[in-house]
């Protein structure tokens, strides 16, 4: 299946990932990451050593703000010097639009001396770089080496999936094990230039990954869920600390690592997307221009309460989060799940990110459209069980205004 065949696919795409619906039975298949570097000045210390050869040519993929409003991209270009720098594309915008991917890919397909792509920024440059890598491979048969330098906590660097937005605004995703980056570099100086609101909101997105992994059927118990639980602890601890002092490089580095822990150990055997909070995020994100970090701020707390009532195993898994956020379990999984949801909402408010769909200029006439996109069901055209789920999701969505 080519990229063009799979671009409309929402769950999956080219490449198969083995998964199991029994978390305590199966296998863990690590991703293809060669190295993760983190800490101050890691770019200067390690970036050039990540290039495949001494004559490698690298192409930078980033957004306009990083390229024009910070010294970061010019610094990278200078570090590479003409010997290694093949060009920069800074036209990537939020939600990774298909047209931008194709425009950048056309430049790489024309120059066969380029063997490396470097994504700098949040989830959109990373997803775009993965999609560009696949388009180039689809056209030429060669895989580019991918080095990623995150500036947010969205953890897009931690998956073999690449989201994109079609011309009609519908979100698609391409999944292939070969799309996992070769190198990840967490340099806190690349977090210093990120607007604090964006950094914090993507931290809630990372929390969304970690929480929804606890009730995803094919996320392995070890190492994925166990490490994600610790990511929850760190995100609850560090996000308010960052809010108080967004210039502390140790806190920024620790948050980068917490974001990695939220998603970076899922392995190749995870099947499908995460849970309802993520699906609602896709339904609210590109169609209405809402950043995914902000969608998670709105949806994650209410979703865990709903999820607990959909499935007893989910309720048990959600309740088990409480000791990781300094709370005691009562033994009543539904009440405990409600407390987890409330604590998430409290954290969102504490770091100043409480929002709603009125603030985001989404009309209430969009309720059924949002529900259909998130559930892939149409009101009135489903079984009794599906209608019950639809009604529960609709009630949740209505509460977001």
Residue bearing tokens 């896709």: 282
Residue bearing tokens 């140790």: 250
Q: 341 burial class (0-12, 13-18, 19+ CB within 10 angstroms)?
A: buried
User: What is the dotted CATH code of the domain comprising 3-192?
Assistant: 3.40.50.1970
| Among 274, 276, 271, CA closest to 389 | 276
Question: With contact defined as beta carbons under 8 Å apart, do 213 and 224 qualify?
Answer: yes
pTM surpassing 0.85? Answer: yes
Give the count of beta carbons closer than 10 Å to the beta carbon of residue 102. 14
Region at 308 (left for phi over 0; alpha for psi -120 to 50; beta for the rest): alpha
Which secondary structure element, helix H or strand E, spans residue 36, and what is its range? strand 35-38
Report residue 188 as tokens: 């806190």
Euclidean distance between CA atoms 95 and 285, whole angstroms: 8
- The helix/strand/coil state of 163 is strand
- The helix/strand/coil state of 60 is strand
Question: With contact defined as beta carbons under 8 Å apart, do 165 and 101 qualify?
Answer: no
Ranges of each domain in the chain: 3-192, 196-398
Q: Which residues of 105-140 are buried (b: 16+ CB within 10 A; e: fewer)?
A: beebbeeeebbbbbbbbbbbbbbbbbbbbbbbbbee
Q: 372 burial class (0-12, 13-18, 19+ CB within 10 angstroms)?
A: middle
Q: How far is CA 235 from the centre of its chain?
A: 15
Per-residue pLDDT 10s for the chain (401 aa) are: 344 444 333 333 334 445 555 656 667 788 889 999 999 999 999 999 999 999 999 999 999 999 999 999 999 999 998 899 999 999 888 777 788 888 888 888 889 899 999 999 998 899 999 999 999 999 899 999 999 999 999 999 998 888 777 777 677 788 888 999 999 999 999 999 999 999 999 999 999 999 999 998 878 888 899 999 999 999 999 999 999 999 999 999 999 999 999 999 987 766 667 899 999 998 998 889 999 899 999 999 999 999 999 989 999 999 999 999 999 999 999 999 999 999 999 999 999 999 999 999 999 999 999 999 999 887 666 788 888 999 999 999 999 99
β-bridge mates for residue 37, sequence order: 185
- The helix/strand/coil state of 91 is strand
Question: With contact defined as beta carbons under 8 Å apart, do 196 and 246 qualify?
Answer: yes
Question: With contact defined as beta carbons under 8 Å apart, do 211 and 300 qualify?
Answer: yes
Half-sphere exposure of 83 (CA within 13 A, CB side): 8
| Among 311, 307, 346, 309, CA closest to 326 | 346
Q: Is the dihedral of CA 318, 341, 329, 210 positive or negative?
A: positive
Say which CATH class 196-398 falls into: mainly alpha
β-bridge mates for residue 119, sequence order: 61, 148
């Amino acid at each position: 299946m080519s990229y063009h065949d799979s671009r409309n696919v929402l769950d999956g795409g080219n490449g198969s990932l083995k998964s199991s619906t029994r978390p305590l039975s199966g296998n863990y298949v690590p991703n293809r990451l060669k190295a993760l570097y983190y800490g101050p000045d890691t770019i200067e210390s390690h970036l050039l050593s990540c290039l495949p050869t001494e004559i490698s040519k690298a192409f930078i993929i980033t957004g306009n703000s990083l390229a024009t409003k910070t010294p970061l991209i010019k610094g990278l270009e200078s570090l590479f010097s003409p010997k290694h720098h093949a060009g920069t594309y800074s036209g990537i915008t939020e939600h990774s639009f298909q047209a931008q991917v194709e425009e950048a890919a056309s430049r790489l397909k024309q120059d066969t001396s380029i063997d490396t792509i470097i994504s700098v920024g949040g989830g959109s440059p990373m997803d775009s770089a993965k999609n560009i890598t696949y388009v180039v491979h689809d056209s030429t048969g060669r895989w580019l080496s991918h080095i990623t330098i995150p500036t947010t906590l969205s953890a897009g660097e931690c998956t073999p999936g690449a989201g994109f937005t079609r011309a009609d605004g519908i979100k698609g995703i391409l999944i292939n094990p070969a799309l996992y980056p070769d190198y990840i570099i967490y340099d806190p100086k690349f977090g210093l230039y990120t607007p604090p609101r964006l950094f914090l909101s993507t931290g809630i997105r990372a929390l969304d990954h970690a929480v929804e992994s606890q009730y995803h059927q094919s996320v392995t118990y070890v190492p994925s869920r166990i490490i994600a639980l610790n990511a929850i602890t760190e995100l609850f601890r560090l996000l308010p600390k960052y809010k108080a002092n967004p210039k502390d490089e140790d806190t920024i580095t620790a948050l980068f690592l917490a974001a990695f822990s939220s998603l970076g150990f899922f392995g190749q055997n995870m099947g499908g997307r995460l849970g309802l909070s993520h699906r609602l995020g896709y339904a609210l994100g590109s169609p209405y221009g809402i950043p995914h970090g902000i969608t998670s701020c709105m949806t994650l707390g209410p979703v865990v309460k709903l999820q607990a009532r959909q499935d007893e195993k989910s309720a048990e898994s959600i309740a088990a989060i409480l000791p990781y956020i300094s709370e005691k379990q009562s033994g009543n999984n539904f009440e405990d799940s409600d407390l987890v949801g409330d604590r998430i909402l409290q954290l969102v408010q504490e770091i100043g990110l409480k929002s709603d769909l009125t603030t985001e200029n989404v009309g209430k006439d969009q309720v059924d459209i949002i529900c259909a996109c998130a559930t892939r069901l149409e009101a009135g055209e489903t079984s009794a069980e599906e209608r019950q789920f639809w009604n529960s999701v609709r009630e949740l969505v209505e509460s977001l205004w």
